[in-house]
Structure 1
Amino acid sequence: GESGYVASEGFPNLYPPNKECIWTITVPEGQTVSLSFRVFDLELHPSCRYDALEVFAGSGTSGQRLGRFCGTFRPAPLVAPGNQVTLRMTADEGTGGRGFLLWYSGRATSGTDTPSVPCPKQCRRTGTLQSNFCASDLVVTATVKSMVRGPGEGLTVTVSLIGAYKTGGLDLPSPPTDTPLKFYVPCRPCPLMKKGLNYLIMGQVDENRGPIIPSDSFVVQHRPSQDQILTNLSKRKCSSQPRQAAESQA
């Protein structure tokens, strides 16, 4: 197909041990495959020795390897040279993580293209404020102004910004006070938000749909005491991403 989601077995719960799973993605002729990771949580090892996701150009695992990934940091978006790409995920006998969720597309999709998303049965978030800060594209504090159903099965949440600590490449004024911003929430009602309340929102920026808040995003009610912590985090350098070490082994 031209676009869709691919998730590891069992997602969003833990993936099973002792497994090798292979997916081949094919988009129409004349297009290239673009991969954008939404969630990534595999057992970490400097060379991805235990659990790993490999991406190969073409059909099968004999083509050019585009990357080998593990850990909890989302790999950067990938674009394959042709209209096919193969994913191979391997897991050893040990305990792993939640696996991965990625969006593939063969062309730029419109803002109204919103396929169904594997949503968790219970809302939950993992990690600390600091770990989520580093893993997020966009970190803001804001007041929820409206919540409207759609497009698709999700929600469009309009907020009024209070502060911005990571912009995800968006052109936001500084300071961003009262600037309106729209988020797409694929899984209703995760995370739980209410109109009129202030929140600390850690989300992602999708190249096609703009700001999004995945179901496991770090979203909590905003307290003024968080502002200094966020300011300090914005000045620090996040530790090197495991994927960079993994790619050096590719």
Structure 2
Amino acid sequence: TLYSSACLSFPLLKLLTGAPGPIFTCGGNITEESGVIGSQGYPGVYPPNTKCVWRITVPEGKVVVLSFRFIDLENDNLCRYDYVDVYSGHVNGQRLGRFCGTFKPGALVSTGNKMLLQMVSDANTAGSGFLAVFSAAHSHERGDQYCGGRLLKPSGTFKTPNWPEKDYPAGVTCSWHIVAPKNQIIEVKFEKFDVERDNYCRYDHVSIFNGPEINDAKRIGKYCGDSPPAPVLSEGNQLLIQFLSDLSLTADGFIGHYKFRPKKFPTTTVLPTTTTQPVTTRPIPLKYSVALCRQKCKRRGTLESNYCSSDFVITGTVITAVIRGGSMHATVSIINVYKEGNLAIQQAGKTMSTKIVILCKKCPVIRRGLNYIFMGQVDEEGRGKIAPHHFVMAFKTKNQKGLNVLKNKQC
């Protein structure tokens, strides 16, 4: 039986764990109160060079709540190749986010009774696509389970659901879009803060972005733990604050305040020094990087001689490689970890990945799609740092045996 992804109701969720499952097609107009949307051909690999659009409409007076159950698209820091866009409304709506890789956002909530999903793929596909469920909710229910909104007043407050009476609920996403006049910037301060603690804020967390949407390239920081982050200043006149809680532990939550400031106020962002691992990319000081990159690009020593002097040793596939300034910023899908140190490793299902910065973009040269052995240092944000004198080489299966021996080495 051919099911249009536009016509699935919630009971069909039961089919998703068994066979035979529904067959998902490319896009559709959806007028159900709840249902399931899947990329074309899910769970098979989605086709290349496609653009699919799903338009969801629920009854007037209700809002659309969308939750991704699974996402596996070609990974890229900026989601430039394959991605899913989610918009509030059908025409000229606010984009709630752009998603790729295996990052699964929390629930996304429209401001009215319409929502639009658009999935785009380029010539090279790399994954099973996505599966999402949606349902209609009464807009007044948002006070308890849902939160966020568009903040336009010169000053105001934002807080987690249930604050301060009880812990925030599990499985919610709140997005506050703060918009100041064009000639002003926004200052954000947290008065109280208690969000499930994790060294890399992988579970419950608050992210703050310059601009009106979720965009890793414009992320100011990612925060969790029980100490308030330092004050944050926007670069322009818009900020997006997103709070996400997963389905397990919860905590007290937070209350924060914002206010508009004249643009002449210094616009340097103050990064937190306490409870979090901020995701903001700190540039390498120019003098240091220029001097460093004048060194002759030549690998020194052997696997054995570099093992103990390195903070981390991994093998992995380069998924993305983006030049920023004089450095190369790469995302590496990990094959094996031989020495972890303080390297920040993200896990989605069985897939592990990490961020590595090649301080001198041409030394060593790495290419997207190829496998390497990486040995290097780790910065204070948990990213791998590779300088010209560090050890990087193409990884072949024959290297596995030597690396396994080194893993047991006492340094």
Q: Please classify the TM superposition score into its range, dividing by the shorter chain length.
A: 0.3 to 0.5
Normalising by structure 2, report the TM-score.
Answer: 0.29
Q: Which has the higher contact order (CA 8 A, sep 6+)?
A: 1
Instruction: Give the greater-gyration-radius structure (CA).
Output: 2
Normalising by structure 1, report the TM-score.
Answer: 0.47
